Each structure stands twice: as C-alpha cells, then as structure tokens.
Chains A and B, each alone.
Chain A
Amino acid sequence: MVDEMIRFENVTYKYSTGGREKELVAVSNINLSVKKGEYLVVLGHNGSGKSTLAKLMNGLLIPTEGNVYVNGMNTKEEDKIWKIREIAGMVFQNPDNQIVATVVEEDVAFGPENLGIPPEEIRRRVDKALETVEMSEYKKHAPHLLSGGQKQRVAIAGILAMKPECIILDEPTAMLDPVGRTEVINTLKKLNREEKKTIVLITHYMDEAVEADRLLIMEKGKIIMEGTPKEIFCQVDKVKELGLDVPQVTELAYELRKEGFNVPCDILTVEELVNAL
C-alpha cells in the first residue's frame, strides 16, 4: 500500500542469552500497519517487548519469523537496509550515547556524511535541521555542556538531516527532567503536524500518549490493546493491570463511575472532567 509506512506481518523475534538457556521470545506474532503521517504511541512496561519492536522497525533487528516492510522494502534484504535506515530514523533513550562528535553541527552532519552527501548539501541540511529543533544558536557548541532535553533535540536534528519519512523514538524522554520532556514532545508534535513526519513513540509515560492518533499497548511480546487514546484509557482497570498509568483525572472519573455516578469514561484532561461534572 502506498500510504503505509511500516508493516509487520506475523513477526516473531527470538533470542538466546549465553546459549545454555532456552530461547526467549521478545515479540511474537506481531501484525501491525503504521500509516504515513501517523502519530503512533506504543506503551508497555519494561520487558513488554516495545524496545524490540522499535529495533525491528528499522532493521537493527531482523525478525526470526515473519517480515517487516518499510515503505515496501523488506528489512531482511541486505542491500536495502541502508535505504531503510535513511527513511526510518531512530532516536534512543540515552542522550549522551548517541552523540558522536565534539561539536553540535558536526554531530548533526554525521548521518549525511555517512550517506556520502556533498558538503554544500550537508551544510544546508544541518542548518535546516537545527532550525527545526530550535537549536541553531548552539551550532558550534560542545554537546557535553547541553542539558538532556537539548541533547535529545540535537539527536533528533541528526536524524532530520538524513531526511527521513518516519522517526522512531525509543523512550526518548525516560532520562530527562520535565522541562526536557516537554521540549522533546513539543518538537515531535511539530514534526508530525508541520513537517508531516510519521512518528512512532515508544514510552511508558501515559501523558505522552494522550495526544497520539493511535495507541498500542504491549505485554509479553504481544500487542494486546489498540485504539485511540480515549478508547484505551476508558479501560482504566485493564491499563492499570498492565502496570501502566492513567492520568489522575481519568482515574478519578473511573472511581466516581464505580460509585454509581454518571461520568463518561473517556476523560483525559482537567477541563474534560470539569465540564463533565
């Protein structure tokens, strides 16, 4: 399908640790379709398989069974893998362990340099990418002096400079303070709305999930819940059982419902609850 960014067909990923233990299954029988331009959030507690899912999306891991297609290209095809990683960029959890260069602009240039892009074009891409993430004034700075949120934005710029269609982020805010988290999430929203990038955000923070187009919840390597944020958070019990959070107001609405009050179940924000009561 033309407007399908990523497709998973019956994907299973198994691995063994050290050989003497039996094989462990990280994800099993995943079927998934990510539409172009979508803002997809994948939730799950640690060990649910969400990180593995992310790495399967750009060929960092190859499925043991099944196939993963990125823009129609199969990640198992070795000669396509670099093109796949070019259009499906990935940002990781630890801001420090993604930065390679001693100067911000040189780190953002790292991706294009690997692609063999001519220097003048690299210059243009680097400047534009830094502008998009609002880090232009730090162009010549040393990355180790930046805050966590700033480092992650530089990492995002580094991916943008490769002109991806889709950006996959594996718990990008887990190590950041609230200010940093807001910076990063706002950048993602901007990239999705204005630059029309497909965003796949892996996280365990429910407040990052409330504005997604679609939400997936993973548990023990399987996708067990799928829907819009409202649909998912309606099922407060089930979400909590899975070791995840719901917004406090959603929980309050749920508690009131249990006591017999007629409160709608798809409350996600303070305003919604105020209006409902």
Chain B
Amino acid sequence: MIIKLENVNYVYNPNTPFEQKALDNINLTINEKDFIGLIGHTGSGKSTLVQHLNGLIKPTSGRVIVDGIDTKAANGDLLKVRQKVGLVFQYPEHQLFEETVYKDIAFGPSNLGLSEDEIYNRVKTAMELVGLDFEKLKDRSPFELSGGQKRRVAIAGVLAMEPKVLVLDEPTAGLDPRGRDEILGRIKKLYEEKNITIILVSHSMEDIAKLVNRIVVMHRGKIVMDGETKEVFKQAEKLEQIGLGIPQITSFMRTFKEKGNPVDDTVVTVEEAKKELIRFLRSKKNA
C-alpha cells in the first residue's frame, strides 16, 4: 500500500490577514515497509504534512492518494483512509475519555462498525502489542493509570484499528529515558513483527538514528532532504544550516576523523561506533 503526495500545497486562513503557507509543493511517496523519520523544526510543516496522510486536512492544491483513494475526492471513504492510516498525536493520553480501558480502546474499532467479537479480539491484541495486561487493566478506568500507561492505552486505541501505516507524532514527548526506551522498543518490535509502515516524527536525532531506514527533512514547508538514514546524516553541514543536528556519536566520529584518524564516520549508533573504534584502535596497536 502506497501513500502519494503530489504537488501538495497547504495554506492556513487563506485570504485573511493571518494567511500562512504551511506546505510548499510537497512531493512524497511512502512505500510499504518504510520506517520513516520525519524531522524538522517546530513550524517546518511536519504536523500539517502528517495530518494530510489520513485526510484530517485536505490540500489547498495538489493531491494526496492513500491506497488509491484521493482524500479530496471521496467523502464517505475518509473513514477507510483513517482506518488504513493510524495517527497518534502528541500527548495522546489527553484524548482518553471512556469509563474503562477496554471501552476506550474499543472506540476506534466500533466506529468501523465491527462486531462485538471482532472488537474484543482487536482490543486484546492491541493491549498485548503495547505491553498492557489485558485481564488486569481492561476494566480499570484509564484515568487511574500512570502517565506512561495512559499513553500506551491511547496508542493501543489506534493500533486496534489495524492500520497499515502508523504515524506517531513525538511518541516519547515528556517521558523519562526509561519510558522512552520502552515505547521505542515496542515500536521497533511492531515494525519487525507486523507488516506495517511507520512514520515517526521526532526531535531526537539519536532516537531516529537507532530506528528508521529513511529520513525526510522538512524546512519552512518544503522537503529539503529525503533519503537513507546514513546518507542524510552525512550532510551534517546542511542540517546544521537549517538548525537541526546529527546524533552526538556521529558528530564525534566526524571530529575524530577530521583529526586524521581513518574511521568510518557514517556511524549513527553507539554500537556501530564501538565496533568501528575497536577495529581502529586494535589495528593501531598492531601497527
């Protein structure tokens, strides 16, 4: 299943004194099994772009095609689009509303008109995917849970719709390192075990580097870079120019190489750096 954005432009408040162009000629294709990291400053257009993917926002001009459905044309089919593309907003725990965890997660599937049995299966599976104990928590009020648990309930609520594409907007916002590792670990597991495409919007280069295989960089409403993780992080100067960075470990390797040490400076994780440095230092010893 593919999502295509063709010449998409989006303007907020057109013809008013508050007119603002949020998306400028966006052309993007999202392929099956992509794991994309979407990076860019606040105001670069990331949120606007992401909301076009499930038809929450329709382009001022241009087209967004989700699995063959044009989001501007079809009116009844938007529900289908929202089933195919699941969108988890920032601080998703703020949207919880039901009396029990079960009912809240069931909200999505019941909007899809599924049977009670099917809904039961969906909720159970979704809770397992996010690591919540089904029997223990299904009848609890979501508001009694901890912040991290609430967030997982919210994510489960989207997973229960069994989307083919999952978009997560800063899923680790406000979490401590342990909470962050837990959520990212589950996202990675989800990607590896299910046939799902993931788009991760994040500010953390380190997190992105560990997970994604493709990076899309946005700046002032335009896509300025789109490529494999390592390729994008190679262009450190360009990223710095638009105010973004690269993982600290990559920055270190580049600096180290500049000092005259022949190492591979395209590494993006600590493990890779470790292996590369060990190789280099041992070879130096033996020299």
Q: Footprint of B on A, CB under 8 Å?
A: 45-47, 147, 174-175, 177-179, 204, 243-245, 247-249, 251-252, 255-256, 259, 261, 270-271, 273-274, 277
Contacts and interface: CB of A to CB of B under 8 A. Distances in A.
* Interface of B: prevailing SS: helix
B131 interface: no
Interface string B170-202: 000111111100000000000000000000000
A243 B148 CA distance: 14
Contacts of A244: 176-178
Interface string B200-211: 000100100000
Interface residues of B, number: 30
Nearest to A271: B255
A147 B274 contact: no
A274 B252 contact: yes
Contact of B251 (A45, A47, A147, A270): A270
Contacts of A248: 206, 247-249, 252, 270, 273
B229 to A, nearest CB: 16
Contacts of A177: 41-42, 203
Interface of B: 41-42, 146-148, 173-179, 203, 206, 243, 247-249, 251-252, 255-256, 259, 261, 270, 273-274, 277-278, 281
A259 B175 CA distance: 32
A46 B148 contact: yes
Nearest to B285: A261
A256 B256 contact: no
Nearest to B261: A277
A219 to B, nearest CB: 11
Nearest to B147: A46
Contacts of B148: 46
B176 A46 contact: yes
28 contacts: A45-B177, A46-B175, A46-B178, A47-B146, A147-B42, A175-B173, A177-B42, A177-B203, A178-B203, A179-B41, A179-B243, A244-B176, A244-B177, A244-B178, A248-B206, A248-B247, A248-B252, A248-B270, A248-B273, A252-B249, A252-B277, A256-B274, A256-B277, A256-B281, A259-B274, A270-B252, A274-B252, A274-B255
A178 B179 CA distance: 19
A243 B177 CA distance: 6
B71 to A, nearest CB: 28
Contact of B256 (A174, A245, A277): A277
Contacts of B261: 277
Nearest to B284: A277
B281 A277 contact: yes
